[in-house]
């Protein structure tokens, strides 16, 4: 196990040099994809220090075989010491970080070589921003497509919409925000579902999310997700988000979007596991459509609750387009 001290303990950094960046990479024992992800971070063309903190979640810490480290690079491998799951693993990495800025990278994603350099350049020009993200290339089974979010996303935008293309593996955040006014990733969210959206909502209260208008992240979408079929947990996590962020309820479209997701998850749980949740799904659907009759998730929930459509089939149709429900 690699146990080098964090960057803040390194005395070789010179005044005036670019800010040091810590990239937090949670992993669940996927050594081949992890190696690709870590190499894409270590070989950035960024001239400043880059520290990679790999956090093993529930598996013995093992350092990926990256060979000789490039100059001004550091690799650390630690075990998740907090709650099991993505939120706890990310927080373990944040608390171990020594960089001025913290980035996330999932263990099956890749950074293009200029990602950090372009992001830090944008951050230097937008010190009022709470985070800097980038566009991404989404690699689907049959094609690749670029998704570029708006150049600036405000809190009101995120209340109304999750904002397609704002992927956590593209986030770059000042460490002092995560350790201070904004706080760590929410470990109370069931299954860590929606933890990235919750973090964006909290960050955007502090400042806008600035986006480099280039696809500097590569995400391979297999058409499936860790959350597939975990409908009861998804409904609980979404309800947690509504309780935590009352400003969503004040936006008709924003509330209807999340409520429609809850309705669909409850209908899918009742259909696939016989949980008896059909009445709850119908109530959530009716409430949703009362506020926004155009909310398709609520109509889909009614169809699933009535036994007219299989939720797995419908989810598969949506996922083939690189979306979720």
DSSP structural state of residue 13 = P
Signed CA dihedral, 30, 32, 36, 41: sign only: positive
Residue with tokens 């060979």: 67
State the burial class of residue 65 (Cβ atoms within 10 Å of its Cβ: 0-12, 13-18, 19+). Answer: exposed
Burial 166-204 (b: 16+ CB within 10 A, else e): bbbbbbbbbbebbeeebebbbbebbbbbbbbbbbbbbbb
Those residues whose C-beta lies under 8 Å from the C-beta of residue 57, and which sit 6 or more positions away, are 26, 27, 28, 80, 84, 85, 86, 88, 89
Counting DSSP H helices and E strands in the chain, the numbers are: 12, 10
pLDDT above 70 as % of the chain: 90
pLDDT recorded at residue 5: 60
Instruction: Please give the class, per CATH, of domain 7-220.
Output: alpha beta
User: How many whole angstroms from its chain centre is CA 291?
Assistant: 28
Instruction: Determine the Cα–Cα distance for residues 61 and 66; give it in Å rounded to an integer.
Output: 15
- Chain segment 33-65, per-residue pLDDT in tens: 999 999 999 999 999 999 999 999 999 999 999
pTM of the model as a whole: 0.91
Backbone angles phi, psi at 139, to 5 degrees: -95, 105
29: left (phi over 0), alpha (psi -120 to 50) or beta: left
Instruction: Determine the Cα–Cα distance for residues 214 and 136; give it in Å rounded to an integer.
Output: 7
- Chain segment 137-186, per-residue pLDDT in tens: 999 888 999 999 999 999 999 999 999 899 999 999 999 999 899 999 99
Range(s) of the chain covered by CATH 3.90.550.10: 7-220
- The confidence band for 227, taking pLDDT boundaries of 50, 70 and 90, is very low
pLDDT above 90 as % of the chain: 81
């Amino acid at each position: 196990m690699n146990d080098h001290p964090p960057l803040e303990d390194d005395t070789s950094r010179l005044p005036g040099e670019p800010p040091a960046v810590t990239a937090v990479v949670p992993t669940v024992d996927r050594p081949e994809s992890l190696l690709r992800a870590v190499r894409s971070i270590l070989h950035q063309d960024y001239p400043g220090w880059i520290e990679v903190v790999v956090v093993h979640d529930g598996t013995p810490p093992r350092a990926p075989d990256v060979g000789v480290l490039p100059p001004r690079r550091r690799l650390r491998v630690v075990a998740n010491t907090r709650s099991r799951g993505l939120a706890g693993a990310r927080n373990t990495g944040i608390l171990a970080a020594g960089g001025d800025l913290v980035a996330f990278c999932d263990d099956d994603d890749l950074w293009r070589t200029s990602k950090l350099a372009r992001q830090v350049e944008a951050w230097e020009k937008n010190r009022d921003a709470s985070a800097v993200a980038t566009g991404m290339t989404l690699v689907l089974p049959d094609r690749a497509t670029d998704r570029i979010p708006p150049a600036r996303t405000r809190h009101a935008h995120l209340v109304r919409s999750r904002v397609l293309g704002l992927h956590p593996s593209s986030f770059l955040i000042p460490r002092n925000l995560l350790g201070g006014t904004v706080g760590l990733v929410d470990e109370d969210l069931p299954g860590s579902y929606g933890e990235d959206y919750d973090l964006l909502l909290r960050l955007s209260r502090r400042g806008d999310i600035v986006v480099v208008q280039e696809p500097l992240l590569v995400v391979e979408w297999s058409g499936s997700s860790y959350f597939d079929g975990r409908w009861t947990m998804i409904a609980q996590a979404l309800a947690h988000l509504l309780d935590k962020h009352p400003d969503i309820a004040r936006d008709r479209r924003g509330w209807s979007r999340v409520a429609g997701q809850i309705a669909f998850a409850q209908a899918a749980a009742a259909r696939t596991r016989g949980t008896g949740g059909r009445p709850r799904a119908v109530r959530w659907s009716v409430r949703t459509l009362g506020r926004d009759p155009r909310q398709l998730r609520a109509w889909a929930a009614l169809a699933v609750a009535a036994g007219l459509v299989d939720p797995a089939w419908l989810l598969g149709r949506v996922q083939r387009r690189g979306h979720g429900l």
